[in-house]
Amino acid sequence: MKARVTVTLKSGVLDPQGKAIEGALKSLGVAGVAKVRQGKVFDIELEGSDRAAAERQLSDACEKLLANTIVEDYAVDYD
């Protein structure tokens, strides 16, 4: 089973890297950029096909390692 975990900063959390990217895009002449927020994406392949077990495993992985849940949210999409 394949899954994609997307980790983003919670709304209201300062995103200096996103601001830097926003400024760089504007300085490169990319028009219409209003705001940039950056995040992380993890493509993960799991053994087996039990969706409930996969959800538990990935939630555990996110809570323990992939996301800092104090300042980040995460979402999991399955293929």
Domain that holds residue 8: 2-78
Q: Does the predicted model carry a pTM greater than 0.75?
A: yes
Total tally of structural domains belonging to the chain: 1
Per residue in 39-49, pLDDT (tens digit) is 999 999 999 99
Q: What CATH number does the domain containing 16 carry? A: 3.30.1280.10
pLDDT tens across 13-58, in order?
999 999 999 999 999 999 999 999 999 999 999 999 999 999 999 9
Q: Which residue has the tokens 């996969």?
A: 54
Residue 12 in this model has a pLDDT that exceeds 90: yes
Task: Count CB neighbours of 18 within 10 A.
Answer: 16
CA 10 to CA 72: how far, in whole Å? Answer: 5
DSSP-based helix, strand, coil % in the chain, nearest 5: 35, 30, 35
Q: How far apart are CA 11 and CA 19, in angstroms?
A: 14
Q: Where are the alpha helices (DSSP H) in 1-79?
A: 16-27, 51-61
